[in-house]
Amino acid sequence: KAGVTQTPRYLIKTRGQQVTLSCSPISGHRSVSWYQQTPGQGLQFLFEYFSETQRNKGNFPGRFSGRQFSNSRSEMNVSTLELGDSALYLCASSLNEDGYTFGSGTRLTVV
């Protein structure tokens, strides 16, 4: 079966711009989470959605937002990009309490 699909794989944006990343979870998975991975901070939780509702939110500024659609697909948006937002953004989906399946991520570079 298809895994978690993230698009695009790579993205280069300029400071001040905004960006939208997309995630298609595994079919049937209703929980979708987003993580930011950087060499300095490691894997940090952004937010988690279940049935279109945000259930959990990490400690990121309001410039980071997300949403989930009725088909469980999710998007995250970062507005007013800063150089420090350069990272690998990972989406993960889950069916039950047995953990996440991660996508390969979107590599965002802010210049």
Partner 1 sequence: QQQVKQSPQSLIVQKGGISIINCAYENTAFDYFPWYQQFPGKGPALLIAIRPDVSEKKEGRFTISFNKSAKQFSLHIMDSQPGDSATYFCAATLGGYQKVTFGTGTKLQVIP
Instruction: Return the residues of window 53-82 that contact partner 1 according to CB under 8 A.
Output: 55-56, 58
* Residue 44 CB, nearest approach to partner 1 (Å): 8
Pick 40 or 62: Cβ nearer partner 1? 40
Of 19, 21, 25, 103, which one interacts with partner 1 (CB under 8 A)? 103
CA angle 46, 50, 52 (to 5 degrees): 95
Q: Is 45 a residue that touches partner 1 (CB under 8 A)? A: yes
User: What's at 75, amino acid-wise?
Assistant: E
| Alpha-carbon span 106 to 80, nearest angstrom | 18
51 binds partner 1 (CB under 8 A): no
Question: In the chain, where do the E strands start and end?
Answer: 5-7, 10-13, 19-24, 31-38, 42-50, 53-57, 64-68, 74-78, 87-94, 101-102, 106-110
Whether cis (ω within 30° of 0) applies to the bond prior to 8 is yes
For the CB of residue 80, give the shortest distance to partner 1 in the complex, in Å: 25
Q: CB nearer to partner 1: give 45 or 65.
A: 45
Q: Under the rule (CB under 8 A), what is the footprint of partner 1?
A: 4, 31, 33, 35, 42-45, 48, 55-56, 58, 90, 92, 94-105
